[in-house]
Amino acid sequence: MLDKDSTRGLWTSKIGFIFAAAGSAIGLGNIWRFPYVTGENGGAAFVMIYIFFILVIGLPIMISELTIGRNTRKNPYGAFRKLKPGGYWKLAGGLGVMTGTLILSFYTVIAGFTIGYFFLILSGKFSGIHGVSQSGEIFARFSANPFNTIGLSVLFIVITSVIVINGVSKGIEKWSKIFMPVLVVLLILLVFRSVTLKGSLKGLEFYLKPNFDNLSVSTFIQALGQALFSLSLGGGGMMTYGSYLSRKEKLVSSAGYIAAFDTMIAILAGLIIFPALFAMGGDPEGGPGLIFVTLPSLIIKMPGGILFGASIFLLLTLAALTTTISLLEIPVAYFVDERGWSRKKATLLAASIILLLAIPSALSLGASGWLSKLPFFGIGFMDFIVIVFANYALVIGAFLIAVFVGYSWGIKPALHEIELYGNNFRLKRVWTLLVKYVCPVAILAILGYMLVTGNYF
């Protein structure tokens, strides 16, 4: 029961853990995805629903994941197996390890793009272009070139591995403590630049004024899915990081800080994107291409555009890196715990598997890309992995965690873990209610909706 029972590694400070876990949560999901999903779903009304789901579904599940991880001191597979030996629950943990691994396989491709775009903008590639269509052509050429897509993914995985190989405190924690403050400062500078642009007010109004007219069921699905993805839940990420957390630490307040940090950064990212977009006359509903197509074509035209544009991509790279670190740590912890491998061997093997899985994703991009249209499914390989793992498996994972804590492992042992060292959990009744009833029902509803309509988030 004592902390010295763990030879796997431990966070050395609360702030180190919070930076690392917030680093996991804050990623492309916040800076790339949140703004465009908000743009497509009517602005501030979406943000309000999103915050509601963070509080009612995200936080209770995050507390559950951290509790399972800390109690067992194991990777997701080992954690479920330890708490329920002999049954099928370990498969839920196995699903978590697989989900984290496969999310990383496509995440690293997009993360690679952010490095590529950082250099592309600095090189002046966008400086002479006229309008979005030319910017779209640059993106199409860039993403259809395997040298870029595979090469940059390899680069990203190599950087991630170098950090993970050095361990929990000397690798992940140390670098998170450097990257996260830099990220916050950069973000604040960019927000400041964006909101002080002439004409930025329209963007602020779009972003901050709620428009409830276009709300539909799909808006709620998007908000809930985004909340789970953004908080790194359902894929074993928070469970793995929780397994390195000291038992003395206040788990609930840590979860609160992580969720608040994550939400704040997502909202601030919108304050960079929308004011700049509107100031330069862009369309807020640019979809996934908002960052890679619309934005570069516009910001390049403003004074200091190269610096502003490159800084946005540097921000994205940093955010993505602290997330890929946490995603790689999931299979690494699995190999270390379950196979008894050294961290070095585990990291090298996990990184190699992920790279092999990233190649088909990378090659599926671009209209004529290899694997850009899978037989039977009719979608590209990367889209397929995104739907299966970042949508279905993630949501199923979150559902299983709520059911596991609510009914199988049990609320009582979980509360015992949370309240160790006299850490009183004041809202335990509310949490119990949310984990046992609200989370499973809400998540099942989104799962049912996704299955019936074929929509996803």
Tell the smallest beta-carbon distance from residue 377 to ligand PFF (Å): 23
Task: Give whichever of 108 and 148 is closer to ligand PFF, judged by the CB atom.
Answer: 108
* 363, 370 Cβ separation under 8 angstroms: yes
> Which of 203, 235, 282, 305 touches ligand PFF (CB under 6 A)?
235
Cross-strand pairs, 43: 210
Cα–Cα dist 303/301, whole Å: 7
Interhelix angle 305-339/174-195, nearest 10 degrees: 150
Q: Does 100 bind ligand PFF (CB under 6 A)?
A: yes
**The one segment of 175-183, 300-308, 322-330, 407-415 that binds ligand PFF by CB under 6 A:** 322-330
Q: Which residues pair with 210 in a beta bridge?
A: 43
Q: Output the smallest distance, CB 405 to ligand PFF, in A.
A: 17
What is the C-alpha to C-alpha distance for residues 379 and 274, in angstroms, rounded to an integer?
A: 30
Nearer to ligand PFF, 230 or 432 (CB): 230
Q: How many CA within 13 A on the CB side of residue 159?
A: 17
The count of other CB atoms within 10 Å of the CB of residue 225 is 23
| Cα 53 to the center of its chain, rounded Å | 16
- Of residues 334 and 425, the one with the C-beta less far from ligand PFF: 334
Question: Considering the complex, what minimum distance in angstroms separates the CB of residue 325 from ligand PFF?
Answer: 10
* Least Å from the CB of residue 1 to ligand PFF: 27
Pick 107 or 206: Cβ nearer ligand PFF: 107
Residues 6 or more apart whose CB falls under 8 angstroms from that of 426 comprise none
323 binding ligand PFF? (CB under 6 A):
yes
| Nearer residue to ligand PFF within complex by CB, 27 or 60 | 27
Site string for ligand PFF, 172-211 (x = CB under 6 A): ----------------------------------------
Closer residue to ligand PFF (CB): 237 or 305: 237
Give me the least distance between CB of 226 and ligand PFF, in Å please: 9
The reply to whether 237 sits near ligand PFF by the rule CB under 6 A is yes
Closer of 300 and 350 to ligand PFF (Cβ): 350
Q: Which one of 38, 64, 230, 391 is in contact with ligand PFF (CB under 6 A)?
A: 230
The one among 59, 103, 111, 115 contacting ligand PFF by CB under 6 A: 103
Q: CA 291, 294, 295, 297 torsion: positive or negative?
A: positive
Site for ligand PFF in 275-314 (CB under 6 A): none
- Of residues 25 through 54, those in contact with ligand PFF by CB under 6 A are 25, 27-30
Selected range binding ligand PFF among 77-85, 156-164, 190-198, 321-329, rule: CB under 6 A: 321-329
Is 105 among the residues that bind ligand PFF (CB under 6 A)? Answer: no
Residues 10, 20, 22, 24: which binds ligand PFF (CB under 6 A)? 24
Q: Per rule CB under 6 A, is residue 393 in the interface with ligand PFF?
A: no
Residue for token pair 């598997």 = 353
Q: How big is the site for ligand PFF, counted in residues (CB under 6 A)?
A: 17
Coil, helix or strand at residue 210: strand
User: At closest approach, how far in Å is the CB of 36 from ligand PFF?
Assistant: 13
CA distances 104 to 259, 261, 274, 390, Å, are: 21, 22, 28, 10
Exposure of 274 in the CB half-sphere (CA atoms within 13 A)? 27
Q: By the 8 A CB rule, do 202 and 284 touch?
A: no
Is the CB of 132 or the CB of 152 nearer to ligand PFF?
A: 152
**Greatest extent of the chain over all pairs of C-alpha atoms, in Å:** 64
| DSSP string for 315-350 | HHHHHHHHHHHHHHHHHHHHHHHHH---HHHHHHHH
If DSSP codes are grouped into helix, strand and coil, which group holds residue 43? strand
Count of CB atoms within 10 A of residue 457's CB?
Answer: 22
Residues found near ligand PFF in the complex (CB under 6 A): 24-25, 27-30, 100, 103, 229-230, 232, 235-237, 323, 326-327
